[in-house]
Structure 1
Amino acid sequence: MYKIDSAELEKVQRKATKLLPGFKDLGHEDRLHQLQLPSLKYGHQYGDQIQIYRAKKNLEKLSIENYFQPAKVKTTRGHPYKVFKPVTQNRARANFWSIRAIDLWNSLPETVVKAKTLNCYKNRLD
């Protein structure tokens, strides 16, 4: 998602949460916290991570090899399922979920990535 689209969506979210009784004078983050709503950025990242997990575990009808390549360098840090992040030449390609989600996926702890089920993964991701 482009920054301008994200900013517009966040503007709508800010307005909507201010309309609720008792929330007008609170800051945006406080409103989200009290309403137990995630930020838009968190929601996008969360969705991206679930999509990668589903692809890695063959829970999707897509071929994981078309989107991700295993990392070429094996490191002693992190998990063994790290993926290679290709260099992109344009902004549109950099916004594809298969590119933007790699850094966060690679930074996840091994206990999260090795979850046996999707629900277990979601719980550990939170």
Structure 2
Amino acid sequence: MDHCHHSVWQPRHKTLRTNLENVQRRATKLIASLKDKPYLECLVALGLPSLEHRRLRGDKIEIFKYVHGAYNANRPKLHPHRGRDTRGNSLKLAKERSIRNVRSSFFSQRVVSVWNGLPDSVVTAPSVSAFKSRLDSCWADQPGLFDPECYH
């Protein structure tokens, strides 16, 4: 589940996301010492973020690479934000209107809001590894790290 490119596919419906999370839930129950513990306790004990958190983190890493020029060919349509709004960061992106619900799950649509909400100190990191470190520090206190229901 985690070996594919993060931005290629993401489950759009909650049912699919729940089904994927259930695979990880069952896998944690295979560990004898965690067999009778609640799922969230298993994730915390293993230091394993929820799949939903990992998908969101993967999206942010991909958009960081995109904004900083790592991809040259076949780039999705992402444009710099041209508004006067100074909240958020200096590398904000414009979000295109999505008439169809299906389009809202496209990479170029789903990443903009979360990217624009990151602080400038994170998005202006000098490298991908620095970005990951700053992003993880920024997210350290968020309950969604281990709780997949936080994102719904």
With normalisation by structure 1, the TM-score equals 0.91
- The alpha-carbon deviation at position 116 of structure 1 amounts to 0.7
- Contact 1:85–1:99 (8 Å) recurs in 2: yes
State which drifts further: 5-14 or 39-48.
5-14
Could you say which residue in structure 2 is the equivalent of 1:47? Answer: 58
**Where in structure 1 are there 5+ consecutive unaligned residues?**
none
Give the counterpart of 1:72 among 63, 79, 82: 82
Give the counterpart of 2:118 among 90, 108, 113: 108
> How many residue pairs get matched?
125
Alpha-carbon separation, structure 1, partners of 2:100 and 2:42 = 36
Alpha-carbon separation, structure 1, partners of 2:55 and 2:73 = 20
The 5 A counterparts of 1:1-126 are: 1-3=11-13, 4-62=15-73, 66-126=76-136
CA RMSD of aligned residues (A): 1.4
**Where in structure 2 are there 5+ consecutive unaligned residues?**
1-10, 137-152
3-state secondary structure, aligned to 1:22: helix
- The alpha-carbon deviation at position 121 of structure 1 amounts to 0.5
State which drifts further: 49-58 or 66-75.
66-75
Alpha-carbon separation, structure 2, partners of 1:42 and 1:62 = 28
With normalisation by structure 2, the TM-score equals 0.76
Could you say which residue in structure 1 is the equivalent of 2:149? Answer: none
Indicate the percent of aligned positions where both proteins have the same amino acid.
34
Of structures 1 and 2, the one scoring higher in RCO (CA 8 A, sep 6+) is 2
